[in-house]
Structure 1
Amino acid sequence: MQLDDLVKIVGIAASVGALVGGLISWLWKYVQQSDRITVRFGTAHYEETPAYGMHVISRRDHKMEITDFGFVLMNGKLVSAPVVWEQVFDDGNPYDGVSGSKILTERNARFEATMQLYNMEVVGAYAETSTQNHSTLGFSSRHALHWWDRIRIRLKQYIKPEFN
């Protein structure tokens, strides 16, 4: 192996390394700018209430707004809390509990809502931010919901969301 061959190999390796590094840097920047939230069924703080609770936790450092949130029924349909409150309460002021702001300003910022739903089998909660195309779902650990039902509901909401 000659010195010229070694210089060519090192040059090619450096070029490939720079290309991969640039790609990883661009991808990391894109991933950090996307909205990421965690949705949990149940309230963050234990409260003795007959209402169903849900909370949303921000997983990014930038500001994001929750545009829709609510509950998932056993048949896979979504119940949007803002839509129900708008239809039921004329003044737009819900009588169910809301804690925190719908604008999450920092990592681990929390939004919480409770809602009384009668004669509905609620198995989870969902939320969506202004830049997400699909809802983020969270299921209850208290209900005996099989893993295939969770996959079925997630696929149903990913392909064509249905609201109750």
Structure 2
Amino acid sequence: MSNFNIKRITKHLLTTHYQLRSAFPPLSLQAIEQAIKTCESNHLGEIRFVVETALDCGPLLRDQTARTRAIEVFSQLHIWDTAHNNGVLIYVLLADRDVEIVADRGIHAKATADEWEQICRMMESAFKLDQYEDGVIRGIQAISQHLAKHFPADGDNLNELPDAVVVL
């Protein structure tokens, strides 16, 4: 096992739910949920925000990436199950301070991987300054701009997926 993996495993084992609650206290989670609700009123897309403290030992020993985990969570939460195939997951793996965006095929075909990557890096930059809530809300707003451009609200704007933050 490489030193990188040992460092990563140690970081995950030492990252606690207390650190998650410090980065994302209840009021921040409420503000993020409200930002999703507000932004979704401008488009037909669906945004889910998931934050996970750390990976369990099994995935760590398999060197599971945050990207692979985000794709699993996207599937588990049925984010793909929207009428316009325009669900978007923002996944944060706190131990790695890694942000991943997984977009369903309807919106992924209209926004480039580079555009999603820029949003991820912007959020990670905010996290380095301990601006977790602000970074997430700015990410939600940036994603919403893409969704509003390609899937504008049409008056029958159903909320197909819950807006509540998921903490794993």
Give the TM-score normalised by the residue count of structure 1. 0.32
Larger radius of gyration: 1
Higher strand residue share:
1
The answer to which structure, 1 or 2, has the higher relative contact order (CA under 8 A, 6+ apart) is 2
Higher helix residue share:
2
Give the TM-score normalised by the residue count of structure 2. 0.31
